[in-house]
């Protein structure tokens, strides 16, 4: 706990040694169902998280736990094939450590994807949602503790976390692909249990359209260090209590896999012009 700026610089150096001068422009975090996109990276260089100082590794199923550096749609990318979650027992600081590290390597943009439960009653499982904003009311935040001014200021602005220009780009690309794209607010819950029906009702009253267990820690840290962020969610299920049935991890994975083809074409289109 209490990483210092030099810790991030050291991790960056260890990665840079493997990259022969390659500088990533865009960091991409692949959520459930999208892991296959990492296999589409050209001239890939793989760097497993467990070979990088201070990195934690993935315990979630379908999350490989490595970076894939290379070209995707003509852009230099760093793909996180597998993300870290707080519910794996990691602190927010550990979960977000990779983002600051890759920022130091040169990446100025972040595409973050996830699967989430649908809170908005007018939408349905399988829909894609552009993240316009997020809610994290409770629990620790990733920027608590001593500020590292090399990354950003103590009291950083959160007005435009999800870059308006990138939101417009995603909406334009979705129209081009003739793909419906919802736009809404993602609310963070720490998990690993799904929410209770009462929590989902509360989330709806508060203005959330989707609930999930990722993305907010990394977006918070990436915004602090000045990255432009595009966030896209696949709504895999109606959130707890909306339907008179239980939720399961299998249902979530199945729906994520079903939406993966459309989801990845939208990301590829955005990547070209972001």
> Which residues contact ligand HPA by CB under 6 A?
115-117, 189, 194-195, 211-213, 236-237, 239, 247, 252
Task: Name the packing angle between helices 164-176 and 249-273 (round to 10°).
Answer: 100
Query: Whose Cβ is closer to ligand HPA: residue 33's or residue 70's?
Result: 33
Query: Whose Cβ is closer to ligand HPA: residue 101's or residue 113's?
Result: 113
We find the least distance from the C-beta atom of residue 18 to ligand HPA, in angstroms, to be: 32
We find the least distance from the C-beta atom of residue 64 to ligand HPA, in angstroms, to be: 19
Give the Cα separation of 138 and 270 in Å (integer): 32
Question: Half-sphere exposure of residue 267, counting CA atoms within 13 Å on the CB side?
Answer: 34
Query: Whose Cβ is closer to ligand HPA: residue 102's or residue 211's?
Result: 211
Query: Whose Cβ is closer to ligand HPA: residue 31's or residue 70's?
Result: 31
We find the least distance from the C-beta atom of residue 59 to ligand HPA, in angstroms, to be: 16
We find the least distance from the C-beta atom of residue 190 to ligand HPA, in angstroms, to be: 10
* C-alpha dist (Å) from residue 234 to 32, 58, 127: 9, 21, 6
Q: What are phi and psi of 185, to 5 degrees?
A: -105, 130
Rounded to the nearest angstrom, the gap between the alpha carbon of residue 12 and the centroid of all alpha carbons in its chain is 20
Q: Which residues contact 131 (CB under 8 A, 6 or more apart)?
A: 112, 162, 184, 185, 186, 215, 219, 231, 232, 233
Query: Whose Cβ is closer to ligand HPA: residue 127's or residue 269's?
Result: 127
Contact between residue 119 and residue 29 where contact means Cβ atoms under 8 Å apart: no
We find the least distance from the C-beta atom of residue 15 to ligand HPA, in angstroms, to be: 29
Residue nearest to ligand HPA (CB): 117
């Amino acid at each position: 706990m209490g990483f210092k700026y030099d810790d991030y610089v050291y991790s960056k150096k260890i990665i840079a040694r493997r990259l022969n001068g390659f500088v990533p422009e865009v960091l991409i975090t692949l959520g459930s169902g999208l892991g296959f996109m990492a296999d589409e990276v050209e001239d890939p260089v793989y760097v497993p998280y467990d070979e990088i100082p201070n990195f934690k590794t993935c315990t979630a199923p379908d999350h490989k736990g490595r970076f894939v550096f290379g070209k995707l749609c003509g852009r230099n990318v760093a793909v996180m094939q597998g993300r870290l979650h707080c519910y794996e027992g990691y602190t927010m600081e550990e979960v977000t450590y990779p983002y600051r590290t890759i920022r130091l390597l040169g990446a100025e943009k972040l595409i973050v994807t996830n699967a989430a439960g649908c809170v908005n009653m007018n939408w349905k499982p399988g829909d894609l949602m552009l993240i316009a904003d997020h809610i994290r009311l409770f629990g620790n935040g990733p920027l608590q503790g001593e500020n590292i001014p090399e990354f950003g200021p103590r009291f950083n602005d959160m007005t435009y976390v999800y870059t308006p220009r990138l939101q417009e780009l995603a909406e334009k690309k979705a129209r081009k692909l003739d793909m419906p794209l919802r736009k809404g607010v993602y609310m963070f819950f720490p998990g690993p249990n799904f929410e209770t029906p009462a929590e989902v009702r509360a989330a709806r009253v508060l203005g959330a359209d989707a609930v999930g267990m990722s993305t907010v820690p990394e977006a918070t840290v990436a915004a602090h260090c000045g990255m432009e962020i595009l966030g896209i969610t696949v709504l895999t299920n109606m959130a707890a209590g909306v339907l008179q049935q239980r939720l399961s991890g299998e249902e979530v994975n199945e729906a994520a896999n079903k939406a993966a083809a459309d989801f990845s074409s939208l990301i590829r289109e955005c990547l070209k012009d972001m």
